[in-house]
Chains A and B, each alone.
Chain A
Amino acid sequence: MPENSRPDPTRDASLLSVRDLHVSFQTDDGLVEAVRGVSFDLARGETLGIVGESGSGKSVTAMALMGLIPRPPGRIDRGMAMFDGEDLIAMSEAKQRSIRGRRIGMIFQDPMTALNPLMTVGQQLTEVTRRHLGLSAKAANDRAAEVLELVGISSPAARLRDYPHQFSGGMRQRVMIAMALSCEPDILIADEPTTALDVTIQAQILELLAELQQRRGTSIILITHDLGVVAGVCDRVLVMYAGRVVEKAEVRDLFADPRHPYTLGLLRSLPRLDRDRSEQLDAIPGQPPDMTRVPPGCSFRPRCPYAVDRCEHDDPPLRSVGADRLSACWFDRPGQSVEAAAEVTMEDVS
């Protein structure tokens, strides 16, 4: 592994290394730079959360890693994603297909986007393992029943003959997880896996993911807008805003001491069951930027209560603001003196 100047405690165990990823889409309203320079490492056995609101680029990042960006209108303009010595971005489509589903599994918000409504669950589960692992029909069938049991579906052998619509929402999500796990992937990318589910079912699914990870050491990239879910299951977190990573930290540090004003704003704006009720919520003013017209300087500046002149024309890079902490802000911490922000030089930048 090449020497990396960035302080990353998990460097030795890094399974996936994404560097400077740029993805854009041609739309009727003009070019949208959906992902603008995203970099991160994923360690073996860890759960990395990617948090952001609609349009932040979190799902597009995942789609790029899976080779699922529709072209046109989409395009990966730059960047690499090293996985086991190979670049997921540069490799051929055939190669991508052989990795997708086998070594990197994916689960989506809506299981029906991943399940074929015209095939039984058994047919779909066996298709994956026969193609990727070359299992015999009998072995694939046994394996399918085994993974269904693993995700907590009772009488699995009988349910293999059922079609997706014969399962409830929570059970369909389990089937999709079973499918993603059937080839024992190294990485599981979960894009809003519980957003469409009720909280009691969400708790079951999150518990299941945590349990499976413990048992098999799968790395998980969990993409979500829900800070509660992140707090409950992630080890490290990337916060995205307008196509960029604005903060990266260990989960405890992020929640105890948010460094980017956007992260702080998100945490303050939530009504919370674990705190006394407040009279008024601290809402973040304004709207997320129109991605066809991202303002110059820091994209969060128009909504930021701490912004100074420098933020207007000088876009802060993601830089080190403490041990294992990165933030894309001229301040190390929101509310610091104006002088501190002016003093940041490019030497501090990772």
Chain B
Amino acid sequence: MTEQPLLRVENLKVHFPFTRGGFLRSQRGVIRAVDDVSFDIAPGETLGLVGESGCGKSTTARAIVGLVQPTAGRVTLGGERIDGLSDAAMQRHRRVVQMVFQDPFASLNPRMSVGSIIGEPLKIHGLARGRDLQLEVLRLMDLVGLNPRFLNRYPHEFSGGQRQRIGIARALAVQPQLILCDEPVSALDVSIQAQIINLLMDLQQRLGLSYLFIAHDLAVVRHIATRVGVMYLGRIVELANAADLYAHPTHPYTEALMSAVPIPDPVESAKRSRIILRGEVPSPDREYPGCALADRCWLVQERCRSERPGLMRVPDGAAEHGAACWVRVPEVAESLEPQTESVNSGT
């Protein structure tokens, strides 16, 4: 990638300390929610992050905007470091990066009208007031396909799909360049999901937005994303252009995940062979010296348990197709991990 990335995340770690045991013999541990994650997002591109619950995809997004503090690593937005900033210092960057959440009901204040919800960020950032404010709110409502007649209504009067439109309009109010979408369609009915996906893609085209699109639905992510990262237990195990990833899944976890997605076609479904992973995702409170999938992987070798694989270029794969697997990617492969010096401050 020659273009300067809009967002660069390098060796991001988010560890949550916790205590357990009886109250006298409490023993401290650490949940490694995000454990050494690196990626870039270019202007106008959509990076999809997929993975199962607890894999760290939402925590990654929260760490980028400072909703949780990174334990280590570096987050750069438009060339400026934004990790570890105070709330006040972060305020300026919030105009550039906004979030859209899964549950549009929980994230909208039920006592505020749609007009005030969408207008609030404009007021906070001092971008518009009075008549201009109202005109801008109406423009935003039109942009996301909400009838301007609904200006004075309250969130409970809307269906899930319309509430998500309100959430998107609010995110767009400050004219951000990057929107972090955390499972934005997974709470919506099937017939409404497609409307919101189309809206997000249309807005991207018109406004040149970049998205970090987090979802557990692999089909949705394939549709919307330019590039996709697959996360497992706090790490990115595969990262590639969407087309390459779906055509040539290389990491065993990606392969298993894809084979488990139900296909809405009974004939195809009967023909498919599924890879069923043994057991469940292990707890992130343990440190894995090797590959996090080792205990469940059908290809596991001795080395996988002792030495941690980084993202390495898949041989004969497309450019920038990386997978973190000792078995599928030979040792001579070129590392795709960031080559910066010791950005890790340790844990």
- Contacts from A to B (Cβ < 8 Å): 53-54, 168, 170-171, 198-204, 206-207, 225-232, 251-252, 255-256, 265-267, 269-274, 277-278, 280-285, 287-288, 303
Contacts and interface: CB of A to CB of B under 8 A. Distances in A.
Contacts of B52: 198-201
Q: Is the interface of B mostly helix, strand, loop or mixed?
A: helix
5 contacts: A198-B216, A267-B264, A277-B243, A280-B198, A283-B198
A287 B146 CA distance: 13
A45 B307 CA distance: 49
B190 A269 contact: yes
Given A225-B189, A225-B190, A281-B223, A273 B261 contact: yes
B264 A252 contact: no
A204 B161 CA distance: 31
Name which of B223, B246, B277 has the most chain A CB atoms within 10 A of its CB: B223
A64 to B, nearest CB: 22
Contacts of B266: 231-232, 251-252, 255
B194 A284 contact: yes
Contact of A270 (B53, B256, B264, B267): B264
The 4 closest A-B pairs by CB, nearest first: A228-B262, A283-B194, A198-B52, A271-B223
Nearest to B202: A280
Q: Is the interface of A mostly helix, strand, loop or mixed?
A: helix
Nearest to A170: B280
A265 B256 contact: no
Contacts of B277: 200
Contacts of A207: 274, 276
Interface string B175-202: 0000000000000011111110110010
B191 A53 contact: yes
A268 to B, nearest CB: 8
Contacts of B218: 199, 273
Contacts of B197: 271, 281, 283
A273 B194 contact: no
B191 A265 contact: yes
A266 B191 contact: yes
A231 B265 CA distance: 5
Contacts of A283: 191-192, 194-195, 197-198
Given A225-B189, A231-B266, A269-B190, A281 B198 contact: yes
B53 A198 contact: yes
Nearest to B242: A277
B257 A232 contact: no
Contacts of B220: 271
Contact of A199 (B159, B162, B198, B257): B257
A229 B262 contact: yes
B260 interface: yes
B276 A198 contact: no
Contact of A200 (B222, B267, B276): B276
B263 interface: yes
Nearest to A290: B159
Given A199-B260, A199-B262, A226-B262, 16 more contacts: A53-B190, A171-B280, A198-B53, A198-B216, A199-B218, A206-B262, A228-B269, A230-B264, A231-B262, A231-B265, A265-B191, A267-B264, A269-B194, A277-B223, A284-B194, A287-B162
A252 B260 CA distance: 20
A269 B223 CA distance: 12
A231 to B, nearest CB: 4
Name which of B194, B257, B274 has the most chain A CB atoms within 10 A of its CB: B194
Given A198-B52, A288-B159, A203 B194 contact: no
Contacts of A288: 159, 189, 191
Contact of A232 (B201, B263, B276): B263
Interface in B199-246: 201, 216, 218-220, 222-223, 243, 246
A262 to B, nearest CB: 8
A200 B279 CA distance: 10
B258 interface: yes
Contacts of B219: 270-273
A297 to B, nearest CB: 19
A272 B190 contact: no
Contact of B195 (A202, A225, A285): A285
A30 B14 CA distance: 49
B263 to A, nearest CB: 5
Contacts of A284: 191, 194-195
B82 interface: no
B63 to A, nearest CB: 22
B263 A272 contact: yes
A203 B191 contact: no
Given A228-B261, A228-B262, A231-B266, A199 B195 contact: no
A272 B222 CA distance: 9
Contact of A227 (B159, B161, B264, B268): B264
B294 interface: no
Contacts of B261: 199, 228, 273
B281 interface: yes
A282 B223 CA distance: 12
Contact of A168 (B161, B259, B274, B280): B280
Interface in B141-195: 159, 161-162, 189-195
A47 B280 CA distance: 27
Contacts of B258: 273
Contacts of A226: 262
Nearest to A224: B262
B194 A281 contact: yes
